[in-house]
């Protein structure tokens, strides 16, 4: 471009006076880009660490998982090859009793002498694992000590045996599968588990058979096992399958956090537009002089685009540096949450995406004012007043801006894991800005009407803000969006917590009892009946089974929606019933007759039916303890409300199909606090293998996890509020000349400083309140939509989150406004007059 050298010269010189007015551009970009880059680099580091430690996470090169019964040793030898090193672990839920009688459901893991095949277990004190588990030894997670009030060396009752706590588990390899258990980890040897009686037939057991093969050459073995898998009673997992399954959760969370970061960049974009516009308006005379001296529109355009470009490079650069460095600080925290240590490293891809997002945002939002600036005529030198830039850019420039917008959407889509989510965000962001702008315009008009007869300060504020060039609208939209996001998150959290607490208090059972053997059912019922106050709410027989085919297609070839994939990932609980469970509502088909004894039929939940693409009459195949069963879908039930705390199953089979297979019963109880100790005592004495699990602590754990995720989302959303405040600063900078003129006028007319401060602060106060109203309305609507239609739960409006957010923002805005006003007030009328 021929104009570049002179453009560069002018830009470089103009930069001397541009740093302060364009500081908002730099900060808005730095904050937005840093957020997106931090999330991106952290997510990539997590992914890389998982990839690096995939074998350790799996605990070997290969794993076969079987439910209820182990794969015999000789068969394992045949499957993995004679030279493979093998280890089998057992996982189940069990109940332990402390020395003072306190009980706790634990995630029991029983390991053999070969464990762990890959990676190392870290214990405190640092004992070898064999030594820690020898005899009746056990290692526990730290939370177990706190919840049972026990210490190292104490003894715990486990089923029919006792164990001694020898060590605390600091890090456990192959913890990946550990999510399936309730409560903290209790690690014992296989022998101890046998002695305790936890492995009796029918108990809900999960066996994990791991292998390390010579040279880690797994491909031929995997190929062979894949062929056998559809008809086998085990599921194969390889190290290469570990990463996607672990990364799915972190990627999803990263996607939402990235979108929150993008929101801050969009809001920051409004600040960028406002700051660039105000800066160029202040340079109207310089641009006109340049043109009078013979600069072409193109040279002027190139000069100021270069100038904004330099500030953009600084802002994006700063954001990228922070975004690359911050994950190093976050790595240790992330490492505590995840099963592998996280090592942050240089991650070019997320940095590239974050940088591209920053540049395109800057180009899009500064493009409009820049396009208008090139149209400034040198005739404006003849007209002394400072007026804001106005007019529509040329068509060519509009097309270019449209292309930048499309490129930005493409980069947004590339930033998140699922393209649909990115497109939804882009569409949503545009719609939100349009809606918020409409709402803001209405509110600004209303404020001007309502405050027409208010005291002077408010009257002036309303009049100033309702002027088209006041910059109030971008502030209301930007700040309103930031506030709205926080209000949305706050209200959703309140509603979810209320819902959980209400359900736990009113409808949910207090305990779920698992592992009741068929021959223990009668004694169990007798025990319940014999304890006044205890109510048996529900019970059902259950065993573990796996879906193998959908409409005859093996599941690895069937089309299964992402949201129901969990139903085929591993063995799931299955039940059978003669009559429909209480409260069942069918959306298709009919329940089988109570005395039905024909070929297998299955009842399936509606969401899963949709996800599988099946209807009544289609078939599903299950692998039940190695036996293949094909069942015809007889009916489809309304979606299961898992939050209701009822016993519910995705698949319910007709009776007579699998009743004879080894199974257990599970039951839900309402166990009031006053009778719980006595009942649980008798249960532990009479049916020691039966495990009661208290719902309250689990629900509290769920709430705590939700709160942790909420905290991360809230932190990123706060960045949006911060950029919203930057938009406010940009508007105040843009209004500086007007404020100065107003201050001079008021000073000359004899207004004391207090009164001038009131006039200037009233403008900020009205702005913050308008933005707050927009935020509460928009955030309330968004939260209501999500709670009612996404979660499908009842809605209550809580005033605390919006009011806290509004009060904090108003206070911050007033502080920013007062700091700006104070600078004007410090000068004498004469100094202010000269400056104006």
User: By the criterion CB under 8 A, which residues form the site for other proteins?
Assistant: 6, 9-10, 13-18, 285-286, 288-299, 377-379, 381-382, 384
Q: How far is the CB of 306 from other proteins (least distance, A)?
A: 14
Smaller CB distance to other proteins: residue 17 or 130?
A: 17
Q: How far is the CB of 284 from other proteins (least distance, A)?
A: 11
Smaller CB distance to other proteins: residue 78 or 834?
A: 834
Q: Which residues contact 804 (CB under 8 A, 6 or more apart)?
A: 490
Burial of 510 (0-12, 13-18, 19+ CB in 10 A): buried
In this structure, what token pair is assigned to residue 376? 């400034």
Smaller CB distance to other proteins: residue 16 or 420?
A: 16
Q: CA-CA-CA-CA torsion for 683, 187, 66, 244, nearest 10 degrees?
A: 120
Smaller CB distance to other proteins: residue 266 or 276?
A: 276
In this structure, what token pair is assigned to residue 616? 């009544």
Q: Which residues of 536-561 are buried (b: 16+ CB within 10 A; e: fewer)?
A: bbebbbbbbbbbbbbeeeebeebebe
State how far Cα 126 lies from the chain centre.
Answer: 35
Looking at residue 693, the DSSP 8-state letter turns out to be E
DSSP per-residue codes, 223-278: HHHHHHGGGSSEEEEEHHHHHHHHHHHHHHHHHHHHHHHHHHHHHHHHHHHHHHHH
Q: How far is the CB of 467 from other proteins (least distance, A)?
A: 15
Q: How far is the CB of 10 from other proteins (least distance, A)?
A: 8
Q: In angstroms, rounded to a whole number, what is the distance separating the alpha carbons of residues 568 and 544?
A: 12
Q: Which residues contact 56 (CB under 8 A, 6 or more apart)?
A: 118, 119, 173, 174, 340
Orientation of helix 472-506 relative to helix 695-734, angle to 10°: 170
H or E element, residue 535? strand 535-550
Burial of 73 (0-12, 13-18, 19+ CB in 10 A): exposed
Q: How far is the CB of 400 from other proteins (least distance, A)?
A: 18
Smaller CB distance to other proteins: residue 69 or 381?
A: 381
Smaller CB distance to other proteins: residue 2 or 579?
A: 2
Q: In angstroms, rounded to a whole number, what is the distance separating the alpha carbons of residues 284 and 377?
A: 9
Q: How far is the CB of 372 from other proteins (least distance, A)?
A: 14
Q: How far is the CB of 290 from other proteins (least distance, A)?
A: 7
Q: How far is the CB of 12 from other proteins (least distance, A)?
A: 10
Q: How far is the CB of 315 from other proteins (least distance, A)?
A: 20
Signed CA dihedral, 616, 617, 621, 627: sign only: positive
Q: How far is the CB of 8 from other proteins (least distance, A)?
A: 11
Smaller CB distance to other proteins: residue 222 or 835?
A: 835
Smaller CB distance to other proteins: residue 469 or 816?
A: 469
List the alpha helices (DSSP H) in 639-735. 676-686, 695-734
Smaller CB distance to other proteins: residue 125 or 294?
A: 294
Q: How far is the CB of 383 from other proteins (least distance, A)?
A: 10
Smaller CB distance to other proteins: residue 381 or 745?
A: 381
Residue 196, CA atoms < 13 Å, CB-side half-sphere = 33
State how far Cα 392 lies from the chain centre.
Answer: 41
Smaller CB distance to other proteins: residue 18 or 86?
A: 18
State how far Cα 709 lies from the chain centre.
Answer: 6
């Amino acid at each position: 471009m021929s104009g570049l050298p002179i453009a560069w010269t002018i830009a470089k010189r103009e930069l001397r006076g541009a740093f302060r007015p364009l500081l908002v551009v730099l900060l808005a970009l730095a904050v937005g880009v840093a957020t997106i880059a931090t999330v991106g680099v952290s997510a990539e580091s997590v992914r890389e660490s998982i990839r690096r430690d995939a074998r350790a996470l799996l605990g070997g090169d290969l794993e076969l998982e079987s439910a209820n019964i182990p794969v015999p040793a000789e068969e394992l030898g045949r499957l993995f090859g004679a030279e493979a090193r093998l280890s089998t672990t057992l996982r189940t839920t069990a109940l332990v009793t402390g020395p003072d009688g306190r009980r706790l459901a634990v995630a029991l893991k029983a390991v053999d002498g070969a464990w762990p095949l890959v990676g190392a277990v870290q214990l405190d004190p640092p004992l070898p694992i064999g030594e820690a588990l020898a005899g009746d030894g056990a290692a526990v997670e730290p939370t177990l000590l706190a919840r049972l009030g026990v210490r190292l060396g104490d003894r715990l009752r486990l089923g029919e045996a006792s164990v001694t706590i020898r060590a605390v588990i600091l890090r456990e390899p192959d913890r990946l599968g550990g999510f399936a258990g309730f409560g903290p980890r209790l690690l014992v040897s296989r022998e101890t588990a046998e002695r305790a009686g936890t492995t009796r037939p029918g108990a809900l057991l999960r066996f994990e058979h791991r292998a390390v093969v010579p040279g880690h050459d797994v491909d031929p073995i995997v190929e062979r096992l894949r062929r056998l898998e559809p008809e086998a009673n085990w599921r194969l997992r390889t190290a290469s399958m570990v990463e996607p399954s672990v990364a799915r959760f972190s990627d999803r969370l990263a996607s939402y956090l990235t979108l929150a970061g993008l929101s801050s960049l969009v809001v920051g974009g409004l600040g960028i537009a406002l700051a660039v516009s105000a800066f160029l308006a202040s340079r109207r005379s310089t641009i006109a002089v340049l043109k009078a001296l013979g600069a072409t529109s193109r040279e002027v355009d190139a000069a100021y685009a270069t100038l904004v470009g330099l500030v953009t490079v600084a802002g994006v650069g700063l954001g990228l540096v922070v975004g690359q460095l911050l994950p190093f600080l976050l790595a240790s925290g992330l490492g505590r949450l995840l099963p592998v240590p996280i090592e942050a490293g240089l991650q070019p891809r997320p940095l590239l995406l974050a940088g591209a997002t920053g540049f395109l945002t800057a180009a899009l939002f500064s493009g409009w004012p820049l396009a208008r600036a090139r149209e400034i005529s040198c005739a404006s030198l003849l007209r002394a007043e400072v007026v804001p830039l106005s007019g529509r850019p040329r068509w060519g420039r509009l097309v270019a801006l449209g292309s930048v917008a499309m490129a930005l959407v493409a980069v947004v889509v590339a930033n998140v894991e699922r393209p649909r989510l990115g497109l939804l965000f882009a569409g949503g962001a545009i719609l939100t800005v349009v809606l918020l702008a409409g709402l803001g315009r209405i509110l600004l008009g209303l404020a001007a009407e309502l405050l027409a007869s208010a005291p002077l300060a408010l009257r002036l504020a309303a009049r100033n803000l309702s002027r088209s060039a006041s910059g109030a609208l971008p502030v209301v939209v930007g700040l309103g969006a930031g506030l709205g996001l926080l209000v949305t998150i706050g209200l959703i959290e309140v509603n979810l917590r209320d819902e959980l607490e209400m359900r736990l208090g009113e409808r949910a059972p207090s305990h779920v009892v698992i592992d009741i053997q068929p021959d223990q059912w009668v004694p169990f019922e007798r025990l319940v009946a014999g304890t006044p106050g205890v109510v048996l709410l529900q019970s059902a027989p259950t065993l573990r089974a796996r879906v193998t085919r959908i409409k005859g297609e093996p599941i690895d070839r069937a089309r299964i929606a992402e949201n129901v994939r969990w139903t085929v990932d591993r063995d799931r609980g299955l039940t059978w019933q003669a009559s429909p469970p209480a409260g069942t509502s069918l959306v298709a088909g009919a329940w089988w007759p109570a005395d039905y004894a024909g070929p297998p039929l299955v009842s399936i939940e509606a969401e899963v039916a949709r996800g599988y693409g099946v209807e009544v009459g289609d078939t599903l195949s299950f692998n039940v303890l190695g036996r293949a069963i094909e069942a015809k879908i007889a009916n489809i039930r309304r979606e299961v409300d898992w939050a209701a705390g009822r016993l519910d199953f995705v698949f319910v089979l007709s009776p007579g199909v699998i009743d004879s297979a080894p199974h257990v019963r599970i039951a839900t109880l309402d166990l009031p606090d006053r009778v719980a100790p006595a009942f649980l005592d008798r249960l532990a004495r009479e049916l020691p293998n039966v495990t009661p699990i208290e719902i309250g602590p689990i629900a509290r754990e769920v709430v705590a996890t939700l709160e942790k995720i909420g905290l991360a989302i809230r932190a990123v959303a706060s960045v949006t509020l911060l950029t919203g405040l930057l938009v406010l600063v940009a508007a105040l900078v843009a209004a500086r000349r007007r404020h100065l003129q107003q201050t001079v006028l008021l000073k000359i007319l004899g207004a004391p400083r207090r009164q001038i401060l009131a006039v200037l602060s009233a403008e900020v106060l009205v702005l913050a309140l308008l933005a707050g109203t927009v935020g509460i309305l928009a955030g309330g609507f968004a939260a209501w939509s999500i709670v009612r239609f996404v979660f499908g739960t009842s809605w209550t409006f809580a005033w605390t989150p919006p009011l806290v957010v509004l009060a904090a923002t108003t206070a911050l805005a007033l502080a920013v406004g007062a700091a700006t006003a104070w600078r004007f007030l410090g000068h004498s009328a004469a100094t202010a007059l000269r400056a104006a």
